[in-house]
Chains A and B, each alone.
Chain A
Amino acid sequence: MKAGTPPPVERLAQLKVALSTAADVRSALGEPQGRGAVRLPQTGLQDVWLYEYDELEGLTMHLRMLMVFVDRESARYGGYMWFSSGQLLGLIK
């Protein structure tokens, strides 16, 4: 079973912090599957664009998640965070 599409983290290199626009982000990464917002310490409000892919292959669970930050005030690319995993589900008791 699969859900979503693998986040194109290799295309993050096309984006430049504080210079790339929201349109540039969309052009490089595609339309996000989810949205959110975050205000980290000492930073302005950031929109969060969420890209996620989940796959269950037998009892192995794969997760790939990419969050892209777009500064609300300037509408410029502010950074990213991504992580992925592949974990085996098993009996626990």
Chain B
Amino acid sequence: MKSHLRASLKYFALPLGAVLALGTVHVRAADVGTGAFRAAQAIEAQLKRGVSTKADVQKLLGVPNGSGAALLPSPAFNRERVVKASEAGLSSPPDFAQREIWYYEDVAVTDMKSADAGYVANLQQQILLVFFTGDLFDGYFWTSNSASAQASR
């Protein structure tokens, strides 16, 4: 799959840092990356929503590269329920709980070569967000361009 780097910048959550790193990498003429996380394909078989724990996730995927939180939009989020909760002295309805996120990322820049337009390189990226409610696994979001995307500018 060939694509211009300008286009790949639009890719979900592609860290600009990775792109900035390209310059550094170019000077070193070496292949660099964050190190791959493994077993993303095994999530469906080995993790169960509401049953698997953070320990189970770490055992399967390793220590996360980062963390975060999410309160994703829901049809339950409506003004009437919020007002009713407020009148009951609550900051929000009880089911408006935020989910904790564990963030995994794998970026690899390989085969950097000079080109007329600047440089050409293989940029491979995987991003995995794992959602938790309390200590329990509650879902995930995984993307990968591991089909050897080529970047250039």
Known: A56-B17, A56-B24, A85-B103. Contact between A42 and B74, CB under 8 A? yes
The interface residues of chain A lying within 8 Å CB-to-CB of B91 are 16
Q: How many of chain B's residues touch chain A, expressed as a range?
A: 35 or more
The interface residues of chain B lying within 8 Å CB-to-CB of A84 are 66-68, 103
Show the binding face of A for B, using Cβ within 8 Å. Answer: 1, 3-4, 9, 16-19, 40, 42-44, 46, 52, 54-56, 59, 61-63, 65, 69, 71, 74, 76, 78-93
| CB neighbors of A among B68-105 (8 A) | 68-75, 77-79, 81-83, 91-92, 96, 101, 103, 105
Distance (whole angstroms) from the CB of B25 to the closest CB of chain A: 8
Do A18 and B16 touch (CB < 8 A)?
A: no
| CB neighbors of A among B84-139 (8 A) | 91-92, 96, 101, 103, 105, 107-108, 110, 129
- For the complex, is B13 an interface residue (Cβ under 8 Å from A)? yes
The interface residues of chain A lying within 8 Å CB-to-CB of B13 are 63, 65
Do A3 and B34 touch (CB < 8 A)?
A: no
Q: In this complex, what residue of A is CB-closest to B108?
A: A92
Do B73 and A46 touch (CB < 8 A)?
A: yes
Known: A17-B82, A79-B70, A85-B66. Contact between A90 and B35, CB under 8 A? yes
Contacts A56-B24, A69-B72, A93-B31 aside, 4 further interface pairs with beta carbons under 8 A come to A63-B66, A83-B69, A85-B65, A85-B103
Q: Give complex CA distance A1, B73 in Å.
A: 34
- For the complex, is B30 an interface residue (Cβ under 8 Å from A)? yes
Do B73 and A79 touch (CB < 8 A)?
A: yes
Q: Give complex CA distance A84, B67 in Å.
A: 6
Q: Give complex CA distance A82, B66 in Å.
A: 11
| CB neighbors of A among B30-77 (8 A) | 30-35, 65-75, 77
How would you classify the secondary structure of chain A's contact residues: helix, strand, loop or mixed? strand
Q: Give complex CA distance A84, B66 in Å.
A: 5
Q: In this complex, what residue of B is CB-closest to A13?
A: B91
Do A61 and B17 touch (CB < 8 A)?
A: yes
Do B82 and A18 touch (CB < 8 A)?
A: yes
